[in-house]
């Protein structure tokens, strides 16, 4: 009997491409390492904003991005934190494992230097919020800021919006690494998770991972 494993993404369209890359890689690894495992991984986009899920069944994992916050009118940091605490608690109440994504601190698409500095300061506060929410609520952090900063803008050819194929693949690697740390325990045994983690590599091997994924995409696979 096939068991569905559902991931809900409350993220931007560019980040959703990264989530798709993560799911594609997970499926490819399972096809090689555990072809007998009847696990159907499904990925769905949640509607903008947070609403209490009303469906009879809920995703096993919720992934929420802080990036859409930059499109909202500025508010007091305390108000933002209170709102996110309420939102993430609603998701946790479904029994799902919840993750929050940080924002890459390379601001693009803004010509005015004062506005760019203001947005950067807001990004720093939001990334700190992710850490605070992790400590207080126990949600996982998908640290896209750290993953992208380690590789650099010249290599990735993107900015905080995470647009482009390379950005999608690095997002996918970062998301899958996080899921293998705490998001897949109900679906995969620890030994299988460790085997996948070893095959995709950590931050030191991520460039090899990106080359493989991009080559696979260009040849029509993955």
β partners of residue 129: none
The residue ranking higher by pLDDT, 183 or 217, is 183
Average pLDDT over residues 194-198: 96
Distance CA 160, CA 109 (A): 9
What pLDDT does 189 receive? Answer: 94
Average pLDDT over residues 194-206: 93
State the sign of the Cα–Cα–Cα–Cα dihedral 67, 197, 192, 21.
positive
Strand, helix or coil at 47?
Answer: coil
DSSP H helices in the chain: 13-33, 77-92, 113-137, 144-151, 153-156, 165-178, 190-200, 206-218
Asked if 15 and 67 count as a contact pair (C-beta separation under 8 A), the reply is yes
Query: 40-86 pLDDT, tens per residue?
Result: 999 998 776 666 556 567 899 999 999 999 999 989 999 999 999 99
Average pLDDT over residues 163-167: 94
Distance CA 31, CA 29 (A): 5
**What percentage of the chain exceeds 90 in pLDDT?**
77
Query: 75-117 pLDDT, tens per residue?
Result: 999 999 999 999 999 889 989 999 999 999 999 999 999 999 9
**What percentage of the chain exceeds 70 in pLDDT?**
94
Q: How confident is the model at residue 141 (pLDDT cuts 50, 70, 90)?
A: very high
What pLDDT does 153 receive? Answer: 77
Q: How confident is the model at residue 206 (pLDDT cuts 50, 70, 90)?
A: very high
pLDDT reading at 221 higher than 60? no
What pLDDT does 156 receive? Answer: 87
pTM of the full structure: 0.92
Q: How confident is the model at residue 212 (pLDDT cuts 50, 70, 90)?
A: very high
Average pLDDT score over the chain:
91
Asked if 71 and 109 count as a contact pair (C-beta separation under 8 A), the reply is no
Asked if 7 and 59 count as a contact pair (C-beta separation under 8 A), the reply is yes
What pLDDT does 217 receive? Answer: 75
Report the candidate in 46, 3, 21 with the shortest Cα–Cα distance to residue 176.
21
Of the listed ranges 51-60, 147-156, 170-179, the one predicted with least confidence: 51-60
Average pLDDT over residues 193-204: 94
């Amino acid at each position: 009997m096939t068991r569905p494993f559902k991931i809900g993404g409350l993220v931007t369209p560019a980040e959703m491409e990264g989530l798709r890359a993560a799911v594609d890689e997970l499926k490819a690894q399972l096809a090689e390492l555990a072809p007998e495992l009847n696990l159907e991984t499904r990925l769905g986009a949640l509607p903008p904003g947070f609403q209490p899920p009303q469906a009879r069944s809920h995703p096993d994992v919720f992934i929420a991005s802080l990036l859409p916050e930059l499109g909202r009118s500025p508010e007091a940091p305390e108000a933002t934190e209170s709102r996110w605490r309420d939102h993430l608690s609603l998701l946790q109440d479904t029994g799902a494992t919840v993750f929050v994504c940080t924002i890459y601190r390379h601001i693009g698409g803004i010509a005015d230097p004062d506005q760019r500095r203001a947005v950067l300061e807001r990004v720093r506060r939001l990334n700190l919020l992710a850490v605070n929410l992790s400590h207080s609520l126990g949600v996982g952090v998908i640290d896209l800021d750290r993953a992208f900063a380690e590789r650099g803008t010249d290599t990735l050819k993107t900015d905080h919006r995470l647009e482009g194929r390379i950005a999608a693949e690095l997002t996918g690697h970062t998301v899958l690494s996080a899921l293998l740390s705490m998001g897949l325990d109900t679906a995969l045994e620890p030994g299988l998770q460790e085997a996948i983690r070893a095959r995709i590599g950590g931050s030191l091997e991520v460039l090899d991972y990106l080359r493989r994924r991009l080559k696979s995409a260009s040849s029509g696979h993955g």
